[in-house]
A and B are shown apart, each in its own frame.
Chain A
Amino acid sequence: MQNMEALPYFPGCTLKQRAAGLDRSARDVFSALGSPLAELPGWNCCGATFPLTVENLLDLTGPARILASARAEGTRLAVACAACYNVLRRTNHLLRTDADKREKVCLFIESEYDGDLEVVHLLELLHREIGYGHVRQALRRPLEGLRVAAYYGCLLLRPAVEVGFDDPEDPVLLDQLLAAAGAAPVSYPHRGECCGGYLAVRSEEAALEASKRVLTAVSAAGADVVVTSCPLCQYNLDRRQGIIARQEAGFRPVPVLYFTQLLGLALGADGEGYRLDEHYVDPRPLLRERGLADV
């Protein structure tokens, strides 16, 4: 891998608040690998997934402004949060393919932008540019024998035509990264099933059911830890385990980490700012036991 310029990076709102551990660990990982992330100046909220649920161009001005200002910084924009990634990729796709809508949106945000920015997820960068081989060489504390359930969720994978991240039916990028870091990814069929997403706002019961399916499968597969790149998935899967444990006698809670948290520790970071103490299922005993963190 070549030593790269600092990468324009969009953290997003959640990574400044609840998911600060994702932001901090993502920066650690890329610094350790020689390609530090450079936060996009003056960024705004991407609108979470809402801009794409309604037929209203005004809602696209948020993500469009991000894309236009990132284009002024370079040709690529790195994103860590799966939800932001989904919104930015899909908005970009729309602006690239629909000249009519692009013209209207650009008039509104008073910027020229023709959709030629490349929005990349950190996983894609690690895979395509830095290389999993380089990740392996840079390991300080390999995840030897750690049984990891790679969880992709919906937002990284779908809709495939617009997002184009990995095979939505059989994603492998996260599993391969974890294997490169020395871990043993477990096989389970629910890696791309929905965690419940925002459903909890409307029906806690339905959201619980969705999370439960995923977690039961993870637990049955004998995973030590679940790994994700989405703050919402992390929250849903982490938070609901208490309820599931009360309902199901045999349920074994499993910590839920961001993939960057686990990778950051494996690359030698000390876990400072990872907010591991804020997780509902405490990951620290496991991490201490495996010699990955002293926190």
Chain B
Amino acid sequence: MEAARDREEQHAGHGGEARAGTGRRIGVFICHCGSNIAGTVDVRRAAEAVRGLRGVVYATDYGYMCSDPGQALIRRAIAEQGLDGIVVAACSPSMHEATFRRTAEAAGLNPYRLEIANIREQCSWVHQEEREEATRKAIALIASLVEKVRGDDPLEPLGTPVTRRLLVVGGGIAGMTVALEVADAGHEVILVERGAQLGGRLSQIRETYAALSPLAAPLETLVERVREHPRIRVLLESEVESASGYVGSFTVTLRPALPAAALAGDRGESNQAIGGTQYEVGAIVVATGYELLPLSRLGEYGGGRVADVVDALEFERLLADGVLRRPSDGRVPRRVVFVQCAGSRDPEHGVPYCSKVCCLYTAKQALLYRQRVPDGEAIVFAIDVRTGGRRYEEFAQRAVEEGHVLYLRGKVAKLFRQGDRVIVWGVDTLAGRNVEVAADLVVLAAAVVPSAGAAELGRRLRATTDELGFFREAHPKLRPVESLTAGIFLAGAAQGPKDIAETVSQAGAAAAKVLGLFSRPELVQEPTVATVLEELCAGCGLCVSACPYEARSLNPRLRVAEVNAALCQGCGACVVACPNKACVVRNWRPEQTLAMVGAVLGETPYRSPDAGE
């Protein structure tokens, strides 16, 4: 049935009966925008001038067309004048096109027969010293949009169905939280995890700041709930091979995970021999987490080759043993140096950002060390200590007061092995002196970086990552859990360094977004997309390669191009590419465009053979 409607509209797009008898009763509404427009453009004269245009039966001006009385004016004119097309001459369509189209719809007019002539940003604002020319330009712009409305078809929004199944990529705390929220709300979830078990980084951490609460038991409960959930399907040692489709209707191929070594080497290679399994999902949540900058990237700190120099996660493991022993000889370390910002906030290491969690976990680790080794000495080198967050500053203070942890403000320049100790060269910027410390163990708060393969996953999903490899959000303030691709959401450190509480919060927000999507009966989309005139299409495929949105394909049976309306953004690249003029964007037909150009140039409007006049 949908196909039938589509075909009907294609015929309409071809310029057939649907348009005959319309476009003859057009109203023009010119907005003053206070003095923004009227201060430069002579709106009275413009209204007067456009009254004489072909098809225009009504033209008026008003102070603020977007105000309630302004909109009422439009509604009343539609009813009283029997208007079948409208041009609002006002600000940019990105401001109020939607507003006025709703107004038209409320008055019974098809909203796609309303167009905006932008006479503010593109006229009055840029020609403030030239009233005469600005007025002439405004009239030309309105005349051009009148020509467009004359050719506009009444369109209906497109509806696409929603597959109510979620794919979650990553089995850490973020991914598990999203999976449980969505599954508990009654939807199926596929949770794919590259590793051999669920739990992610949390399974490597024993106690958390700031309450020093143990994690193992609650994490185990969470993992059990995920594994036992009737609507969650956990796929371990698996990964995304490819994805296609669009919001509400993705097809993803999952395959057994390649070993980490292969991942680091030959990226993007798909292992055909193993083969993948396809799943249909309506939304995807990326929760791929983080890893620590490898010590091999920190040459000044020994590049990972100096014994008893470990990263913070390795130190968590040492803390987990009954007696805290250093790796080289199993002795209990009497003096431990903690180095914050190991790579972070250092553009030379490709990590210009703050890793955010290190200040607090270093305070935690130093405090735990002092509890394990009461006569031990803990020294922290920090550029500064950032403790934004509830009870975080108090916790860092506790490390100093209760744990007697010595904080030195400054960076560590270098460290190296000397005998059975590690010599640390640093600076104490408060005292203005270089410091040399002989330590038994050094803990590096290595920078938080995206998980290996994150950028490649981003390419496969068409969800972009930034220059650092973190997934990009649609808007940093207003849409922080949505990716730039509709239907793909973000949770946790895959988007940037976050602590556990922030990760869980964002996971909840991502789940809410997914549930919102799944609650809609169908997705509605703008109908101003490209169509194919099948009788003109030669099946050459030029439009397929021209399309930036992968919205085009060749029908192998009919040998003609097809448009996936859900992916099409109506950009018109296919129209330019098509040598047979078989590609048409609805309500942007070539004869419409030529008529618009003609109107701007003051020429006799282009008459298309089917224009009916």
Chain A residues within 8 Å of B, Cβ to Cβ: 160-161, 167-170, 189
At the interface, yes or no: B62 with Cβ under 8 Å from chain A?
no
Q: Which residues of chain B come closer than 8 Å to A161, judged between CB atoms?
A: 348
Name which residue of chain A comes closest to B302, CB basis.
A170
Name which residue of chain B comes closest to A169, CB basis.
B299
The CA-CA distance from A189 to B306 in the complex, in Å, is: 12
Q: Which residues of chain A come closer than 8 Å to B82, judged between CB atoms?
A: none
Pair B303/A170 contact, Cβ less than 8 Å = yes
Pair A168/B299 contact, Cβ less than 8 Å = yes
Pair B416/A169 contact, Cβ less than 8 Å = no
Q: Which residues of chain B come closer than 8 Å to A169, judged between CB atoms?
A: 298-300, 303, 414
Pair A189/B299 contact, Cβ less than 8 Å = no
Name which residue of chain B comes closest to A159, CB basis.
B348
At the interface, yes or no: B423 with Cβ under 8 Å from chain A?
yes
User: What 12 additional pairs, Cβ within 8 angstroms, besides A170-B303, A189-B416?
Assistant: A160-B348, A161-B348, A167-B299, A168-B299, A169-B298, A169-B299, A169-B300, A169-B303, A169-B414, A170-B299, A189-B414, A189-B423
The CA-CA distance from A160 to B347 in the complex, in Å, is: 12
Q: Which residues of chain A come closer than 8 Å to B348, judged between CB atoms?
A: 160-161
Q: Which residues of chain A come closer than 8 Å to B303, judged between CB atoms?
A: 169-170
The CA-CA distance from A263 to B220 in the complex, in Å, is: 64
Q: Which residues of chain B come closer than 8 Å to A170, judged between CB atoms?
A: 299, 303
Nearest CB in chain A: distance from B61 CB, A: 50
Which of chain B's residues 421-453 have a Cβ closer than 8 Å to chain A? 423
Q: Which residues of chain A come closer than 8 Å to B299, judged between CB atoms?
A: 167-170
Which of chain B's residues 366-424 have a Cβ closer than 8 Å to chain A? 414, 416, 423
Name which residue of chain B comes closest to A192, CB basis.
B414
Name which residue of chain B comes closest to A220, CB basis.
B418
Nearest CB in chain A: distance from B151 CB, A: 48
Name which residue of chain B comes closest to A193, CB basis.
B414
The CA-CA distance from A189 to B415 in the complex, in Å, is: 8
The CA-CA distance from A160 to B300 in the complex, in Å, is: 13
Which of chain B's residues 160-219 have a Cβ closer than 8 Å to chain A? none
Q: Which residues of chain B come closer than 8 Å to A189, judged between CB atoms?
A: 414, 416, 423
The CA-CA distance from A170 to B298 in the complex, in Å, is: 10
| 14 interchain pairs, CB-CB under 8 A | A160-B348, A161-B348, A167-B299, A168-B299, A169-B298, A169-B299, A169-B300, A169-B303, A169-B414, A170-B299, A170-B303, A189-B414, A189-B416, A189-B423
The 3 closest A-B pairs by CB, nearest first: A169-B299, A189-B416, A170-B299
Q: Which residues of chain A come closer than 8 Å to B416, judged between CB atoms?
A: 189
Which of chain B's residues 284-316 have a Cβ closer than 8 Å to chain A? 298-300, 303
Name which residue of chain B comes closest to A161, CB basis.
B348
Name which residue of chain A comes closest to B306, CB basis.
A189
Nearest CB in chain B: distance from A199 CB, A: 15
Name which residue of chain B comes closest to A188, CB basis.
B416
Nearest CB in chain B: distance from A165 CB, A: 14
Nearest CB in chain A: distance from B444 CB, A: 14
The CA-CA distance from A45 to B13 in the complex, in Å, is: 75
The CA-CA distance from A167 to B348 in the complex, in Å, is: 12
Nearest CB in chain B: distance from A41 CB, A: 39
Q: Which residues of chain A come closer than 8 Å to B300, judged between CB atoms?
A: 169
Which of chain B's residues 8-54 have a Cβ closer than 8 Å to chain A? none
Name which residue of chain B comes closest to A160, CB basis.
B348
The CA-CA distance from A168 to B298 in the complex, in Å, is: 11
The CA-CA distance from A54 to B391 in the complex, in Å, is: 48
The CA-CA distance from A170 to B348 in the complex, in Å, is: 15
The CA-CA distance from A183 to B269 in the complex, in Å, is: 44
Residue-wise interface mask of B (264-286) relative to A, using a CB-CB cutoff of 8 A (1 in contact, 0 not): 00000000000000000000000
Q: Which residues of chain A come closer than 8 Å to B414, judged between CB atoms?
A: 169, 189
Name which residue of chain A comes closest to B418, CB basis.
A189
Nearest CB in chain B: distance from A192 CB, A: 9
Q: Which residues of chain A come closer than 8 Å to B298, judged between CB atoms?
A: 169
Residue-wise interface mask of B (337-374) relative to A, using a CB-CB cutoff of 8 A (1 in contact, 0 not): 00000000000100000000000000000000000000
The CA-CA distance from A169 to B414 in the complex, in Å, is: 9
Name which residue of chain A comes closest to B300, CB basis.
A169
The CA-CA distance from A178 to B255 in the complex, in Å, is: 50
The CA-CA distance from A169 to B303 in the complex, in Å, is: 9
Name which residue of chain B comes closest to A171, CB basis.
B299
Nearest CB in chain A: distance from B232 CB, A: 46
Nearest CB in chain B: distance from A93 CB, A: 16
The CA-CA distance from A28 to B416 in the complex, in Å, is: 37
Q: Which residues of chain A come closer than 8 Å to B423, judged between CB atoms?
A: 189
Nearest CB in chain A: distance from B299 CB, A: 3
Nearest CB in chain B: distance from A161 CB, A: 8
Nearest CB in chain A: distance from B305 CB, A: 9
Name which residue of chain A comes closest to B417, CB basis.
A189
The CA-CA distance from A120 to B252 in the complex, in Å, is: 50
Name which residue of chain A comes closest to B415, CB basis.
A189
The CA-CA distance from A160 to B416 in the complex, in Å, is: 21
The CA-CA distance from A189 to B300 in the complex, in Å, is: 10
The CA-CA distance from A156 to B444 in the complex, in Å, is: 28
Nearest CB in chain A: distance from B487 CB, A: 40
The CA-CA distance from A43 to B300 in the complex, in Å, is: 38
The CA-CA distance from A161 to B300 in the complex, in Å, is: 16
The CA-CA distance from A161 to B346 in the complex, in Å, is: 14
Name which residue of chain A comes closest to B423, CB basis.
A189
Name which residue of chain A comes closest to B299, CB basis.
A169
Name which residue of chain A comes closest to B413, CB basis.
A193
The CA-CA distance from A161 to B349 in the complex, in Å, is: 11
Nearest CB in chain B: distance from A276 CB, A: 32
The CA-CA distance from A229 to B299 in the complex, in Å, is: 22
Q: Which residues of chain B come closer than 8 Å to A168, judged between CB atoms?
A: 299
The CA-CA distance from A151 to B300 in the complex, in Å, is: 16
Name which residue of chain A comes closest to B296, CB basis.
A170
Name which residue of chain A comes closest to B298, CB basis.
A169
Nearest CB in chain B: distance from A219 CB, A: 14
The CA-CA distance from A200 to B299 in the complex, in Å, is: 29
